[in-house]
Chains A and B, each alone.
Chain A
Amino acid sequence: MHGQTERPAADNQSHAVPEWKALLDAAVDAIIVIDHRGLIETYNSAAEVMFGFSAQEVLGKNVSLLMPEPYKSAHDGYIHNYLETRSARIIGIGREARGKRKGGADFAIDLSVGEIPTADQPKFVGIVRDITERKRSEEEVHQTRERLAQFGRLSTLGEMAASLAHELNQPLTAIATYTQACQRLIESGRGDDDQILATLKKCDAQAQRAGEVIRRLRQFVKKREAGRREVSCDDIMHDLAALAEVDARDNRIPLTIDVARGLPNVMADTVQIQQVILNLIRNGIDAMMNMDHYYQGILVSVNKFKKDQVKIMVTDHGSGMTKETEKSIFHPFFTTKRSGLGLGLAICRSIIESHGGVLSFKRNPSGGTTFYFTLPIISETKA
């Protein structure tokens, strides 16, 4: 069959049988077939939409037309290398690259390439997906993470508590060691008064240092009125959702966030409230790690409560808590986790209380636990 007619490259689309053409045009991804010289033979409807060129404009032209530099100049070389060496950098693998629209704007793509063996020179089919949106949301999550970390300095209360414990531990260790050394020096008669006195002064300085850490903690939790302003519940939940979803996805636990419409604004320190919710979600994830029915996931809901409050609920379908755990759950340094400090919920509670709300929990009838807290809304008269 081959070799009898000279096939004009630009006209090849007309060869396609109707089913084949329908299939190509139904695809969401751009599908482009090129010959061994890089000239476009097939160009589907999705490609027309994605790149902005019509099929007429590109058929028979070099496919590098659809690429920005440095891909544009390198592309003929890629094909040439492949035909020489048969070693492919992309065929059968797929990778991220850049495409160029008719107006010249370049955009992020996922590109996969396959070889079409023919009797003479091979052809190549490229499937192109526009990943501009995906890139943008990845970037957004990244930025939110950065911002939360920057404003709150630490992204979770657990981390904050750990660093706090470390900062307190240093002066306490020094004080304990100084005083114990003094006792030994005095008992053995080897310590002179000057040395003991100097050491006592050092102890004093270390005690002041520990006090300073505590003062900073108080400031962080209680007196951060400055960080408080009128915010909408949507704003609080929006940034948080991106972060929490990453966590949940990493642990393969479904997360649903449900914010009622038209909620009034609350007066809150956005980052602190986000930290509380994130902390509750992470606890929920931990509670569900060893469950078979984890597909029920975690539900975060925000609703109006009574006349003047908003209620935020974090419901997990985890293993639930024992009676003993329930009794102590808000006590500082109480923990059921192997590497936890037991400060997360205690700090959460003081943050919520400093906002004029209440943090509490209840058992779910179907298993697991719901932690919930309220925030007072801004009265309409005041606003």
Chain B
Amino acid sequence: MTDYNPTVFLVDDDEAVRDSLGLLMKSVALASQSFASADEFLAEFDPDCPGCLVLDIRMPGMSGMELQQKLIEKRAILPIIFITGHGDIPMAVEAMQRGAVDFIPKPFRDHELLDRINKALEDDQNNRDTLLEREEVEKRIEELTPREKQVMELVVQGKANKVIAGDLDVSQRTVEIHRARVMEKMKARSLARLVRMVMQIQEQSF
């Protein structure tokens, strides 16, 4: 839907691991950016930058789990893939429960990691598209008059023009005019489309 130029953000305290991951991304023509600590990443974090985060779960200073928590607090939507050591499985399970996309134990096969990254990027793109769409729909709703909003709500509830006219104590003809304006301003070609848009707005989160 939109131009999607994702970056794979790599956060690992081990220089060699970080460097080798960067090369792996390069070998499959994925843009990447490396950080030696969670703090470094957080300092440069831009919520509008699409991509995914490959995050070492165990690091000195701020751990991967703590970074995940910080990102959740910031309502960031960047998908996270944790890389873990042998003894970190219980921690990884907790990270998953908090919404991480996946985890992968070290050492791993390249395609195992790349599959997860591709999946994460797909998720990220979908999420961002949905967000954009929602913002667009919200913008259109802003442009409706209060009366038009009222009519739209009743239309979406499935009420017939005649019933709406009764509810609002106006003529059926007036309802028809409002309704046509709503469809036009919302750029909805059918009633089904309109219903889907309104429902999307009402769903607060993914």
Contact = CB atoms under 8 A, between A and B. Distances in A.
Interface stretch (B22-30, B68-76, B95-103, B139-147): B22-30
Contact of A202 (B20, B27, B29, B58): B20
User: In this complex, which of B16, B29, B83 has the most chain A Cβ atoms within 10 angstroms of its Cβ?
Assistant: B16
A169 interface: yes
Interface in A199-224: 199, 202, 205-206, 209
Prevailing SS type, chain A contact patch: helix
B27 A173 contact: no
B108 to A, nearest CB: 7
The residue among B21, B26, B28, B106 with the most chain A CB atoms within 10 A of its own CB is: B106
Contact of B108 (A165, A170, A176): A176
Interface string B79-114: 000010111011000000000000000111110000
A184 interface: yes
Contacts of A190: 27, 29
Interface in B29-61: 29, 58
A170 B84 CA distance: 10
A177 B14 CA distance: 13
Interface residues of A, number: 29
Contact of B19 (A162, A172, A174, A341): A174
B23 A165 contact: no
Nearest to A176: B107
Interface string A151-177: 000000000001001100111111111
Interface residues of B, number: 24
A209 to B, nearest CB: 8
A260 interface: no
A188 B85 contact: no
Interface string B101-142: 000001111100000000000000000000000000000000
A341 B107 contact: no
Given A166-B58, A169-B86, A185-B27, A180 B16 contact: no
Contacts of B24: 177, 180-181, 184
A334 interface: no
B17 interface: yes
Chain B interface, DSSP helix/strand/loop, else mixed: helix
A181 B16 contact: no
Contact of A169 (B19, B89, B106): B106
Given A180-B109, A180-B110, A339-B90, A174 B20 contact: yes
B107 A181 contact: no
Contact of B110 (A165, A177, A206, A338): A177
A172 B109 CA distance: 11
A199 B29 CA distance: 17
Contact of B27 (A174, A184, A338): A184
A181 B23 contact: yes
Contacts of B28: 184
A181 B24 CA distance: 4
A181 B27 contact: yes
Contact of A172 (B23, B29, B90, B107): B107
A221 B74 CA distance: 48
A202 B26 CA distance: 16
B116 to A, nearest CB: 14
Interface of B: 14, 16-17, 19-21, 23-24, 26-29, 58, 83, 85-87, 89-90, 106-110
Given A169-B107, A202-B19, 9 more contacts: A170-B14, A173-B106, A174-B14, A177-B20, A178-B23, A180-B24, A190-B27, A339-B90, A341-B87
9 contacts: A162-B87, A169-B107, A170-B106, A172-B106, A175-B107, A180-B24, A202-B16, A202-B19, A339-B87
The 6 closest A-B pairs by CB, nearest first: A180-B110, A177-B20, A174-B16, A184-B27, A181-B24, A173-B107
